[in-house]
Amino acid sequence: MSDITDPGMTTGAAATTDPGNPVPAPGRWRWVPALVGALVVSLAVAPVGPLPFYVTPLILGVTYLAAAVVGGRSATLWAPGLIITAWGGAVVLVFSHTLNADFAAVAVTALGIGATAAALLGRVGFRMDAIAVALSVLFAGLTELIASLGVAILGRGWFYGALLGVWVLSDLARISPLRRTGSGSARV
């Protein structure tokens, strides 16, 4: 079986979800860890809080993983959780001077580890959409690119907390691209 399966093969609630209906009450609980993570990133990371800013991607990744665990095997945040956690670990290793290596090499390797973990979980029945993998890698890459240009807002924890909040709201409103299935999506 291929890592990317035919989108017509999707089954279950994800394939029959009506984007116009609100998320049922039990489905909303999976977002509690994400909202807590958004608060932690917004309030605990410098310049507001005591944690160094470079821990932000790791906190976000662990937050996504916690939300995925609460959501179960069909949660939309498994791929972002694995990829952003791996990338966040790379950021912490390099910027804390625990690992003395080229940041780009460590970051690309970490993104590959996260994407590989996502593909492997997809093979054993966890929901892994190719778009979720792609968007996670794109998010990490764009963050690094824009940060290299000196855009000041990327150095603020609250900015990432706000992005996470927007992601939660888009999923609750069922307008998130990660909730769509059909001819334009492929599952990993």
Q: Does residue 123 lie in a domain region?
A: yes
- Tell me, yes or no, whether 10 lies in a domain: no
Contacts from 25-31 at CB under 8 Å and sequence distance 24+? Answer: 27/71, 28/172, 29/70, 30/67, 30/68, 30/70, 30/71, 30/72, 30/75, 31/67, 31/168, 31/171, 31/172
Q: Measured between alpha carbons, how far is residue 170 from residues 14, 21, 41, 123, 150 in Å?
A: 16, 13, 19, 27, 28
pLDDT at residue 66 in the model: 85
Per the structure, the complete domain to which residue 156 belongs is given by: 48-179
Instruction: Please check whether residue 144 lies inside any domain of the structure.
Output: yes
Q: What ranges make up the beta strands (E) of 23-144?
A: none
Tally of structural domains, the chain: 1
Torsion of CA 61, 52, 109, 170, to 10 degrees: 30
Alpha-carbon gap, residue 43 to 27, rounded angstroms: 26
Stated pTM of the model: 0.72
Q: Cβ-count burial of 48 within 10 angstroms (0-12 exposed, 13-18 middle, 19+ buried)?
A: middle
| 80 CB burial (10 A radius; 0-12, 13-18, 19+) | buried
Look up residue 57 and give its two tokens: 């991607």
In a domain, 143, yes or no: yes
Quote the pLDDT of residue 28.
Answer: 60
Residue 16 lies in a domain: no
> Per the domain annotation, does 173 fall within a domain?
yes
Q: What is the pLDDT along the chain (188 residues), one digit of tens a residue?
A: 334 333 333 344 443 344 444 545 455 666 677 777 777 766 776 666 778 888 888 988 888 888 888 888 888 789 999 999 999 999 999 999 999 999 999 999 999 999 999 999 999 999 888 888 998 899 888 888 888 888 877 777 777 777 777 777 776 666 655 555 544 445 55
182 dihedral zone (left: phi>0; alpha: psi -120 to 50; beta): left
Nearest to residue 56, comparing CAs of 150, 139, 170, 115? 139
Evaluate whether residue 40 is within a structural domain. no
